[in-house]
Amino acid sequence: MAEAVIAQKGPYEVSVTAGKKYWWCACGRSKKQPYCDGSHQGTGLEPLQFAAQKSETLWLCGCKQTGNRPHCDGTHGKL
């Protein structure tokens, strides 16, 4: 299995809509960061699906090293 690529050393600010499902890119290869575009194919890595509980702004991990997937936990500050 391949390792995740650091897409950026900081989170992505995104607006989500209540009830809508999203696929967070876990491999770091997507051109549609922080969301999956299928670039993980063949890496052994899979995106993470999550549903927005409410309409709000979230900070999604860009370094792909978070311990709180898909949310940023500040790990990028240690890279």
Contact 62, 27 (CB under 8 A): no
CB 24 within 8 A of CB 11: no
Give residue-wise pLDDT tens across range 11-66.
999 999 999 999 999 999 999 999 999 999 999 999 999 999 999 999 999 999 99
Count CB atoms within 10 A of the CB of residue 43.
16
Q: Supply the range of the domain harboring residue 34.
A: 1-79
CA distance 58 to 26: 16
Task: Please state whether the predicted TM-score (pTM) of the whole model is above 0.85.
Answer: yes
38 SS3 class: coil
Look at the chain and report how many structural domains it folds into: 1
Tracing tokens 């650091």 back to the chain, one arrives at 6
